Amino acid sequence: MRTNPHILEINTARWLAVLGRRYGKKMTICHIPDEALDGIKAGGFDAVWLMGLWQRSPRALEIARSHVEIARAVSFQASGYQKEDIIASPYAVYDYSVDRDMDTEDGLIKLKKRLNDRGIMLLLDFVGNHFAADHPKTLTDPDLFINTGTTPPVSRPDWFFKTENGVYIAHGRDPFFPPWTDTAQLNYFNPKTQDFMLKTLERVASLCDGVRCDMSMLSLNKVHHDTWWQFLKGDKPRDEFWTKALSLIREKYPYFVFIAEVYWGLEWDIQELGFDYTYDKVLYDRLRFSEAENIKAHLGAEHLYQMRSIRFISNHDEESALKAFGREKSLAAAVLMSTIPGARMFYIQQVLGYKTSFPIQYVGPVAEQDIDKGVQEFYSGMLAITNNPSFHGGQWTLKQVSQVNDSETYKNVLTWEWAQGLEYKLVVINYSGVQSVCKIPFKTKYKSIICDFPVKQTDLPAEEICKNGMTLELKPYESRIYTLYL
């Protein structure tokens, strides 16, 4: 995988449903048309994360179809939906085998080869914190999970459910939110649980090129203890689970990729355990809620940390980028995340111009008016530009801009440079809702300066610009990408 790779997240069940409607037949992963995979390759993507491929839970399906909030969210955007358009959550994993509605293990192996033949890596989910509440192990081996035996929990009974065998098992839980009622919480202070999950991960690794580890920080010893201390049995493990997991997998698959969903300022802790990339939710929040100067401060962090961060402005957990940011701001944010160091993750609904997000359990049709074709064209052009090797193998430098005519709006402008050989890429973004003016000074003399994006412009006076600097007036949230030749 290239440095600063581009990763495409795909909600697998929804994608198959869309392809099925397009081609007029039931679609499985083995039969995904070549043109769909060729389109991913043409978009410059280095990896595909097929989210939600594993076998889903019957109980989670019942919960999803009776869930008031899911029904409300779907009916608001797709009033004519059918019951069959709602499926189980992909994060209540019943078994780490390919969901029977999507294909078989043989079909997955064939798809992986087709992707790899195109130079695309296959990433899959590893949900390490919990299983589905009706996972067979809740009955046959309940001590793999946080439980109180057959005695009802004295405190927080709403965190638990009772199995058919009369054992009270905890639901999976983020300590800042209510429990996920379709899940069962694993107990990482039980060595047997760790061994079971290591074997599970080993099996997953045999089927793909990397994993996106859901809520990875919940399995850290301190977090696990602080979340479940009153119910834990056994001593705190000497080593972190992830240390053992990464060592085990990389001994067998040296180039296997680990991506961590992680929050709460624990990104560096997870990186130090050996993860290739960690979620950069801080950047997402600053892009959405803050100003250019605070974004610039974040981009001044230690370079290795930047390189191992995964940038995003949309995924299956967040609101659609168009709704969360507003159209023009979302496009500026897209250029920004696509041209800074680190992995860049795009959600398929983002690049297809979905105006709103749907619950991940919804696989029904989306109305044409809910898709912005102009945004599709924007991403097609932008991804073609950022597929250039300079953005993946060049040296990145955060640049300064100068004030023009006493205007304070130069503070709204972010700019950086990628250098590779005789070719430089210059990115300039007015990350504000007002017109801004700035000057970019140059210390190097370039023979030619071309504007590549958003509109091609080849007649720029390179000699004059290098001598006097590049003075720019930028519309609100306007982005430009230039190529400079020595």
- 337 confidence band (pLDDT: 50, 70, 90): very high
* Pair 384, 420 in one domain: no
Per-residue pLDDT, 76? 72
β-bridge partners, 144: none
Claim: this prediction has a pTM higher than 0.85 = yes
- 429 confidence band (pLDDT: 50, 70, 90): very high
Over 90: is that where the pLDDT of 459 sits?
Answer: no
Rounded to whole angstroms, the Cα distance separating 249 from 255 reads 9
Task: Tell whether 137 is covered by a domain.
Answer: no
Listing DSSP states for 92-152 in one string gives SEEEEEE-TTT--HHHHHHHHHHHHHTT-EEEEEE--SEEETT-THHHH-GGGB-B-TTSP
Among 305, 440, 422, 321, which residue's Cα sits nearest to residue 378? Answer: 321
Which range of residues forms the domain containing residue 278? 6-131+188-392
Per-residue pLDDT, 77? 72
Cβ atoms within 10 Å of 123's Cβ, excluding its own = 25
* Domain-terminating residue out of 373, 392, 411: 392
For the chain, give the number of residues. Answer: 486
* Domain-terminating residue out of 392, 424, 452: 392
Task: Tell whether 437 is covered by a domain.
Answer: yes
- 72 confidence band (pLDDT: 50, 70, 90): confident
Rounded to whole angstroms, the Cα distance separating 436 from 432 reads 8
Per-residue pLDDT, 287? 98
Cβ 256 vs Cβ 282: under 8 Å: no
Helix axis angle, 105-117 relative to 34-42, nearest 10°?
40
The gap from C-alpha 206 to its chain's centroid, in whole angstroms, comes to 22
Over 80: is that where the pLDDT of 349 sits?
Answer: yes
The dihedral of CA 444, 447, 451, 457: what is its sign? positive
Q: What is the pLDDT of residues 228-284, one digit of tens each?
A: 999 997 789 999 999 999 999 999 999 999 999 999 999 999 999 999 999 999 999
Listing DSSP states for 161-196 in one string gives EE-TTS-EEEPB--TTS--BTTEEEB-TTSHHHHHH
Structure tokens at 33: 């048309």
Cβ 245 vs Cβ 201: under 8 Å: yes
Per-residue pLDDT, 73? 84
Per-residue pLDDT, 68? 87
Average pLDDT, the chain: 95
**Per the structure, how many domains does the chain have?**
2
* Pair 233, 339 in one domain: yes
Q: Which residue type does 61 have?
A: L
Q: What is the pLDDT of residues 196-239, one digit of tens each?
A: 999 999 999 999 999 999 999 999 999 999 999 999 977 899 99
User: If residue 222 lies in a helix (H) or strand (E), which one and from where to where?
Assistant: helix 221-228
* Pair 45, 193 in one domain: yes
* Pair 365, 248 in one domain: yes
- 444 confidence band (pLDDT: 50, 70, 90): confident
Task: Tell whether 157 is covered by a domain.
Answer: no
Residue scoring higher pLDDT (154 or 79): 154
CA atoms within 13 A on the CB side of 230: 7
- 75 confidence band (pLDDT: 50, 70, 90): confident
Task: Tell whether 302 is covered by a domain.
Answer: yes
Rounded to whole angstroms, the Cα distance separating 414 from 252 reads 43
Task: Tell whether 332 is covered by a domain.
Answer: yes
Structure tokens at 346: 């795009």
Whole-number Cα distances in Å, 286 to 293, 298, 313, 316: 10, 9, 11, 19
Task: Tell whether 141 is covered by a domain.
Answer: no
Cβ atoms within 10 Å of 323's Cβ, excluding its own = 15
How is residue 410 annotated by DSSP?
Answer: G
Among 423, 335, 349, 424, which residue's Cα sits nearest to residue 384? Answer: 335
Q: What is the pLDDT of residues 97-115, one digit of tens each?
A: 999 999 999 999 999 999 9
- 62 confidence band (pLDDT: 50, 70, 90): very high
Task: Tell whether 159 is covered by a domain.
Answer: no
Among 84, 90, 44, 108, which residue's Cα sits nearest to residue 212? Answer: 90
Q: What is the pLDDT of residues 127-142, one digit of tens each?
A: 999 999 999 999 999 9
* Domain-terminating residue out of 377, 392, 407: 392
CATH number at residue 445: 2.60.40.1180
